[in-house]
Amino acid sequence: MKKFIWLSLLCICATAISVAQPRAVGLRLGTSTEASYQHSFGESNYLQADAGFSYISGIQAVATYNWIVARPDWTDYGTWEWFVGGGAGVGISSTFSNDTYFYLGLVGNGGLAFNFDFPLQVSVDIRPMIGPKINDNGVSLNYNGLFETALSVRYKF
């Protein structure tokens, strides 16, 4: 009986902690294929980290801090969210002429997300990145990700 009480208390605490710290994990698909992770800080902001393969730029990782700026009441089930944010990205790429370069840059993020009543989130966003790229020839401007749009599907827990 004592073990049952401790196990029940442990389950209640684990549930309370998971509800207090909402997270989401999934895929971001567009001009790149990335694993995506979100960690919420309260009701209206969250950190998003994406890492994966870009068809334009090779391998990249991006982190943005996003703010939910509006929650339109368009449906009776689920919630809509307009979001904007900013952050930084880093990556490495090799071109068709075997020119390998390292790049980093500032990132903007904006889009629309829908959270279903069950633990699924779907979002559409645009995430431009601009900054220097460094290779054997020196430093130049990297703007390949200037119009990077994507569809994301995430499991919320």
Residues 56-91 have pLDDT tens digits of: 668 999 999 999 999 999 988 999 999 999 999 999
Over the stretch 39-54, which tens digit does the pLDDT of each residue have?
999 889 999 999 999 7
Containing structural domain, residue 56: 22-156
Angle at 123 between CA 42 and CA 118, to 5 degrees: 70
Query: Looking at the 3D structure of the chain, how many domains does it have?
Result: 1
Within a domain: 119: yes
Task: State the pLDDT confidence band at 113, using cuts at 50, 70 and 90.
Answer: very high
Burial class for 48, CB neighbours closer than 10 Å (0-12, 13-18, 19+): buried
The CATH number for 50's domain is 2.40.160.20
Within a domain: 4: no
4 has pLDDT over 90: no
What is the amino acid identity at position 134? Answer: I
What is the amino acid identity at position 42? Answer: G
**Dihedral angle sign, alpha carbons of residues 113, 64, 86, 146:** negative
